[in-house]
Amino acid sequence: MPAMPSQVPFLDLHSQILPLRNDLDAAIRRVVDSCGFILGREVQDFEQEFAAYCGVDHAIGVDSGTSALLLILRALRIGPGDEVILPPNTFIATAESISLVGATPVFADVDLATQQLDPEKVEAALTARTRAVIAVHLFGRTAPLAALLALTRARGVHLLEDACQAHGARYQGRHVGGFGIAAAFSFYPGKNLGAFGDAGAILTRDAALAETLRQLRDHGQRAKYDHVLLGTNARLDSLQAAVLRVKLPHLDSWNAQRRRVASQYEALLRDSECLTPAPLAPFEDHVHHLYVVRHRRRSAVVHALRENGIGFGLHYPVPIHRTAAYAGLGLGPGSYPNAELLAGEILSLPMYPELTDTHIEQVCEVMTQAAFTSG
């Protein structure tokens, strides 16, 4: 098949930044002129604006989504001897944060259609040592929060939200981030709401927990040199906060455009061999941080996409329990069959708000033809 006349990037941040350039430049100049580079007014204002947007009382700016997860666990005094349940098909930071506080990650398999945590598998994994369950809103789709909340409340354990891929997603009409005791967000540049470097935030409705988190991110200080906890340096810097303040008002429109792209993909791939994301229940939402399909002959499709200059991703090709980092858990093939099956079939297509109809059609044509010719 002849090569397509133009390339389709997996992600195009240039097209997002260009119309905001003047506002972004002004925000960065404001920080430079103030010389207030760490925490300060820009961070405080972003925290207030992001908390208000999500409908939660407190936002704590931190330096990454990984730090957000780690500090939540530390603030809840989760550590050695404790277990935390999570899905095996997420970014490794979800598990890393558990391991780094000395707790044990316990995986529960996922629903094959939604790729989200299966509440029945979570229930089976609960033990007397379970302190928390992490609901990962994977790829921007909301996790089954109602069922997970019922389980965790009945057992007296914490529900945490890993919302690092779900900025602006709603569940039962409410933004994610306010359902569990706390939620972690990442503002890595490629996220739906992205900074110009690493950045993150924690949301919580608990005022005492919020105060502890603010201390932990800043060397355990409640005031300068008044160190009341063993903390760390996980502060959000003012430049990143200023960038995020410019972008936040555009998040809903960007998410609407992502849904447009997803709808077009679904329509064009309907008669192909690709399995597109499962339909949403009325109370669920999807902000399509990633558009992930499944294909039984993924290698042939990947080859065709490369040959035609079309970007793609594999999120995630190895379930966490099968990585070398977690070999010590002794979890062999077949431990979590749904997550393992998905890892061999998933493929992330180009996804960003500015993706054009022409590029969407190119992607779908290559995928359809690749599957047909490889049969």
Chain position carrying tokens 């303040």: 245
- What is the CB neighbour count within 10 angstroms for residue 333? 10
**What is the pLDDT, as a whole number, of residue 19?**
98
Residue 1 contacts residue 369 (beta carbons within 8 Å): yes
CA 333, CA 168: separation in Å to the nearest integer?
Answer: 36
Residue 358 to residue 342: CA distance in whole angstroms: 29
- Section 295-321 average pLDDT: 96
pLDDT recorded at residue 8: 97
- pLDDT, residue 322, reads 98
Report the SS3 class of residue 329: helix
The mean pLDDT value of the chain amounts to 96
Report the pLDDT averaged over residues 278-305. Answer: 97
Which residues, in sequence order, are CB contacts of 254 under 8 Å at separation 6+?
16, 192, 353
DSSP structural state of residue 139: G
How much of the chain exceeds pLDDT 70, in percent? 97
Res 260 pLDDT > 80: yes
Higher-pLDDT residue of 326 and 373 is 326
**Confidence at residue 370, expressed as pLDDT on a 0 to 100 scale:** 80
Q: Using pLDDT thresholds of 50, 70 and 90, give the confidence band for residue 3.
A: very low
250 with 349: CB under 8 angstroms? no
79-91 average pLDDT score: 98
Q: How far, in Å, CA of 152 to CA of 196, rounded?
A: 36
Class of domain 16-249: alpha beta
- Rounded Cα distance between 247 and 20, Å, is 8
Max Cα distance, the chain (Å): 68
| CA-to-CA dists, residue 372 to 96, 253, 269, 301, 348, angstroms | 40, 36, 13, 10, 19
Q: Please give the pLDDT value at position 4.
A: 45
Q: pLDDT digits over 150-178, tens only?
A: 999 999 999 999 999 999 999 999 999 99
Amino acid 226: pLDDT: 97
pLDDT higher than threshold 80 for residue 321? yes
Measuring CA to CA, how many Å separate 128 from each of 104, 125, 186?
13, 10, 31
Q: Where are the domains of the chain?
A: 16-249, 250-374
Residue with tokens 């997860």, as numbered in its chain: 69
Residue with tokens 């397509």: 4
- H-only helix segments in the chain: 13-17, 21-34, 40-54, 65-75, 93-100, 119-125, 145-155, 207-216, 238-247, 251-268, 298-307, 337-343, 357-374
Class for the domain spanning 250-374: alpha beta
**Mean pLDDT across the stretch 140-149?**
98
| SS3 state at 293 | strand
Using an 8 Å Cβ cutoff, are 104 and 84 in contact?
Answer: yes
pLDDT in tens, 8-35: 999 999 999 999 999 999 999 999 999 9
For the cut 50, the answer to whether the pLDDT of residue 45 exceeds it is yes
